[in-house]
Structures are given as C-alpha cells and as structure tokens.
Structure 1
Amino acid sequence: MKTPISAYEKTQGMIYFARMLDKIRKHAAGELRNDFTENLGRGFDMRCANLLRVPYNTIRERTLEGGSDEEILQWCFENGRELNEGDVHVWNEFLRKTGWQDGTTERLTERKVESGLANCDEIQTMAEYFEYDEGRKSYE
C-alpha cells in the first residue's frame, strides 16, 4: 500500500491539489494506504474542493475519467471558479500553516502521538506532519 504524494507538490502554483488527485487515483487502483481511506473527501480534500466550488465527488469522477493534474485543475476552473494569483497564495499559506497555533493544533498533537512523533518539535503544521508520517522526512 502506498501513501499519497507530498502536499507541497504544485499544480499551476497551487499546493495540495495534486495530492488530492493522487489519493483518488491510488484509492481507485486499490493502492492507497488504508488509513487514508476514511478521510477521502474530508479535511483538506473538502476545503480544496470548496475553494474551487466543485463538489469533491464531482472532482473524483472527473479525475477517474483521466487526464493530467493540470487538465483537471483547468476543468475545475471552468466548472467551478478560477483562482487568481492572490487566491492561490492565500490557499498555499493556509495549507502550509494549518496546525500551527490554530483550531487544528490539538488534532495535530494527537496525530503526532499516534504516529510516535510526539517529540518531533520540527512538526508544527499538518503539512509537515504528512512529510514525517509518510516517510519523506525522518525523525531520529
């Protein structure tokens, strides 16, 4: 079973979108690590879909029809709303900082404990947590 790609991967400058599509594709292929399946379409997936004004299930269906991440994002712009440079900047900064002294901090702390990363002070945000939990960064 596999983890999704990094939340920091960009599609037309936008972080996370490629990760959401990667999770959709891996889940459909039966390759997504089991602990990711219960949150498909929730959390950042839901927030990303809401930002684009396209329902998550519609993005899922379009993704499974095929196409590159760029093509699917363009489709979202055409069928929801197009993001300008400022929108992308605000989204990226929101996603990069979620978990740092906000309403998600408690959940981040819980997830660090569950993953054996409670003492990893480098993890201050959910995006950084993903990097460690999914093995792209290591804590010793």
Structure 2
Amino acid sequence: MKRRLFVALLATSAALPLAARASDKGEKKPSGGDNYVRINTVTAYTTRPGARRGVMTVDCGLDIPDPALRQRAELVLPRLRAAFVQAVQIYAGGLPAGAPPNPEFLARNLQRSADEVLGKKGARVLMGAILVN
C-alpha cells in the first residue's frame, strides 16, 4: 500500500517541473486566430437507416473581426451555444433516415441564430465538419 503512495508521489513530483516550464513560455495563441471564437462541438440525435438512432456532430465557430462584437460574443457564449444546439437539434430531428446533411441550409440556420443572439450582424459562422454516425 505504501509503495502505491510512493509511486504516485514520485510521478506528481516529476511532473511539476514540466508544468512549471510550460507555464513560463507565456500564453498560447488561440487556434483559429485572434478573430475566431470557438464554439464547442454541437451534437444532436438523428435517425439512421433501419430506424436506428444516430448522432449528428457539428464542429463550428465564429469569425468576428469587430473587437466590441467579439467581446459581446465571448460574454454570451453559453447563449450562442444553446442557440446552436437548438438549431442543430431541430435540423437533425427532421432529417430523413439515411439522408446526408445539407451544410448550406445548416450554415444559414446557425448564422440566423448567431445574428439573433448577438443582436446585430457582423459575425460569420464557420463550420469545420458535419458527421452523422
């Protein structure tokens, strides 16, 4: 029992200098650039062929060049994510079994949701991937 405690203590003490060196390098640049606001992956249930349940996953974010609007988007990020989840859930629920998703239609819906939550236009929805499993 004491050997397990010793191994755990040894592993954490070995990792501390590595963590200290990583934090000394400064902040890491956000992926996507300075204008990019990342939205976590959005998932929704859909129907697969044979009436089985499937999952639609949408990877997306926002490109916002205006600093004031970007700051507002970061403040209301939970509301943006909720609006995106609702839009994807409605779309995935009406998708026929086995049909491929329509990225243009989904992007328009997400853009409409983003403009509605932010209160004005100026943010552009960027979609990385749409997967249906």
Same fold (TM over 0.5): no
Greater fraction strand: 2
For normalisation by structure 2, the TM-score amounts to 0.25
For normalisation by structure 1, the TM-score amounts to 0.24
**If you compute each CA radius of gyration, which structure gives the higher value, 1 or 2?**
2
Q: Which has the higher contact order (CA 8 A, sep 6+)?
A: 2
